[in-house]
Structure 1
């Protein structure tokens, strides 16, 4: 009988306890477990936690005890990580099909198992998926908390690994009206990739695609176009078809703003085809939404209404409340332009009822303000100036703490114009000054240097 020594290691009795438990469960003595490769004394020392087995010893003992080396070393059941990944994929499919609430319920069941077994990678991915569910359900605070927790778990991981969590947190700020901070998060992540020489195509496309929306909303059209062009140039190197589809959807918006309608339509067609193949209904609804927006910009209001109604029906069926509210406002504007103002006003009133009374920057304030803004325009067109003023003031109140400086300035302009036409010059000047104050507030509409371009 030969003997082998095991290297000394810091005190760690986890493996020893597992060896003792498995040996006892199988009715083996220390000598029976050890022979013919090791001694009973070595097994006793290991079980007491005074030594840690070498890789060779670990494989030998695992074979004798009928478990995998990984299970013996970590205490995790064999294949647990794979099982969690499969269940995570199932939940992602539910989310894509528009079942965000059911998906979130399944994902919450995975978290304790991942945490108890030290599976931080799987736990982080589950938190990102939970954040995406919360975004669909309009729970912005919950979404932000999930993405932040995922970032903490991945704090020591390479920047590309953290990109999905950063993108999710930025989207949650965007939906709450914090446009500049959303840009800051995305640009910081892009610069971190560049500084570390980690020009990962998937991560860059994900981050640049996400940056297009806040850039557009802030009026930073050159930056939006730059991000769109870079994302398009990297698309052939991207492995994930869902990411390619998301990129095409984001790029289309930048193209619409540049008047490149045919190219935008082509990008949307590519995105829709990929989403159909992947059975992701939520994102497919966003494509119809974007196509309706494009048609409205081109003046094809009948087609715009059809596309927006399709998007609205899909999102409403999935209970994606905030996204449905955004589509409602755009659809109502199309109806107003079609001279169907009463129908538009009814749609907007229903939107406000659906968002509820408990509005704030974290849940629906920006979207409700958009509805009040359009109701004010409709009332003004109908000659109901008191109603128009009331709606403009409600929009201002909702936006006051949101950080959506551009929207605030626009409301102030509309209100100022209304008051000026009524001869209330002093009140109009106050409204204009308020709008100018929001436009000129430090950091509200200006961005720092553009993120560095990747070097391949």
Structure 2
């Protein structure tokens, strides 16, 4: 017997529909049931069987589900179609329009007590919030989605858990983001819940935090597992996201051609799916690849294309992050004044709670530009602010490099003891290959 309302509610519904159609209890009952049974049912004193409800639904001219639950026929199907439409709206970068669609869907799903559809709408609102940089609000939406799915199997809760992790990651809380992802992976593997899409989503999402924490070996391992899972996934958007994440590990290993090939695969999938924001992210990553390879003109072109696509769609947090990357390329091409202007402008939209790692990168680059201009005092100020942001985020790899820059600056200005302290701090933050502070890496899934 499936989900249905209480007998009293069903009884009132049957009576209301019978009266609307001008039927007597006898006419509704015959030829299978008695008028007395209909009277007892309408009074809510008996729980009708599925067979009885099908008979009554047929006589009353309504769908079985509508009689059993009060939901209009085809409601769930229509909601799913509208959810797909809202997903498409968000995918092309129209986050504000998508918010309106998801909010309407949520209200309707709540009215009819459709738990899975409520969770899907909340997930959508969470993704919209990440797109616009409203991290605290996004996290709340993901938490509400997870609560709606409390009784569902773990794989069904993974998108909400992943959303929470990403919101913490973007806020600079790297270790907690990794904890959420790793503990969920381990729970899936321990419980034998080897859902390829769920595991692929988690491994791909862990790569970014691992890289920022300096845990490159662990990031490479997650990329290896993700690549092995990809052929089992039925979600091309998820596979494309995986290719984009894997490119980061290839870059760290100096495998630039393979990283570019991985991004090309992702971009091809995103174009086919018309996922504009994700395609912009591919331009962003390819710009980074070219910058690493010293192809600065090509890097600038890719990053400007990414920034144009993201800015047009008001993806403010991602736009700020791309701007930092573009400023680095401009500085390396000799346009330091333009780079500094971009960085000063973008810092207004970044904070310790919103893009801490990229805010630190902006201060780091402003420090380097100040050093080039022989303004040691201003350079030190930017380096110290960057250190504070990175320490809070736990971005060990970037922090070690920054301590080296600060130490070199202090040594050149004759402050040897302070320079030694900076170097020691940097050494203390060096991360052993493949480790975090969270214990063993997640186990390999069966492939």
Which of the five TM-score ranges fits, normalised by the shorter chain?
Answer: over 0.9
Change (3 A) 1:385 1:304: same
Contact kept, 8 Å, 1:255 with 1:263, in 2: the verdict is yes
Name which of 317, 324, 334 aligns with 2:319: 324
| 1:16-49: CA deviation from partner (whole Å, max 9, x where unpaired) | 1211121122222222211221111111111111
Superposed displacement of residue 377, structure 1: 1.0
Residues 30-429 of structure 1 mapped to structure 2, 5 A cutoff? 30-353=25-348, 355=349, 360-399=351-390, 401-429=392-420
Question: Partner residue of 1:5?
Answer: none
What's the RMSD between the two structures over aligned residues? 2.3
Separation (CA, whole Å) in 2 of partners of 1:252 and 1:405: 20
Separation (CA, whole Å) in 2 of partners of 1:144 and 1:439: 30
Superposed displacement of residue 132, structure 1: 0.9
Contact kept, 8 Å, 1:136 with 1:321, in 2: the verdict is yes
Superposed displacement of residue 435, structure 1: 5.1
Separation (CA, whole Å) in 2 of partners of 1:232 and 1:433: 38
| 1:131-176: CA deviation from partner (whole Å, max 9, x where unpaired) | 1111110011111111111111112212221121121111111111
Separation (CA, whole Å) in 2 of partners of 1:447 and 1:334: 35
Change (3 A) 1:263 1:408: closer
Change (3 A) 1:287 1:166: same
Separation (CA, whole Å) in 2 of partners of 1:222 and 1:11: 56
Change (3 A) 1:342 1:360: closer
Contact kept, 8 Å, 1:439 with 1:445, in 2: the verdict is no
Superposed displacement of residue 420, structure 1: 2.6
Change (3 A) 1:349 1:434: same
Q: Secondary structure at the match of 1:447?
A: coil
Superposed displacement of residue 119, structure 1: 0.8
Change (3 A) 1:255 1:139: same
Could you list the runs of 5+ residues in structure 1 that have no partner in the other structure?
1-8
Superposed displacement of residue 277, structure 1: 0.8
Separation (CA, whole Å) in 2 of partners of 1:74 and 1:44: 20
Separation (CA, whole Å) in 2 of partners of 1:409 and 1:20: 74
Contact kept, 8 Å, 2:236 with 2:269, in 1: the verdict is yes
Superposed displacement of residue 396, structure 1: 3.9
Contact kept, 8 Å, 1:11 with 1:51, in 2: the verdict is no
| 1:272-317: CA deviation from partner (whole Å, max 9, x where unpaired) | 1111111100000010111111111111111111111111111111
Paired residues, what number? Answer: 443
Separation (CA, whole Å) in 2 of partners of 1:158 and 1:109: 27
Superposed displacement of residue 399, structure 1: 4.8
Contact kept, 8 Å, 1:406 with 1:445, in 2: the verdict is no
Superposed displacement of residue 242, structure 1: 0.8
Residues 434-453 of structure 1 mapped to structure 2, 5 A cutoff? 445-453=436-444
Structure number with higher relative contact order (C-alpha < 8 Å, ≥ 6 residues apart): 2
Separation (CA, whole Å) in 1 of partners of 2:277 and 2:159: 18
Separation (CA, whole Å) in 2 of partners of 1:375 and 1:10: 63
Q: Which moved more, 1:33-42 or 1:364-373?
A: 364-373
Separation (CA, whole Å) in 2 of partners of 1:368 and 1:214: 16
Could you list the runs of 5+ residues in structure 2 that have no partner in the other structure?
none
Separation (CA, whole Å) in 2 of partners of 1:80 and 1:164: 24
- Tell me the TM-score normalised to structure 2 length: 0.93
Separation (CA, whole Å) in 1 of partners of 2:115 and 2:226: 30
Q: Which moved more, 1:274-283 or 1:344-353?
A: 344-353
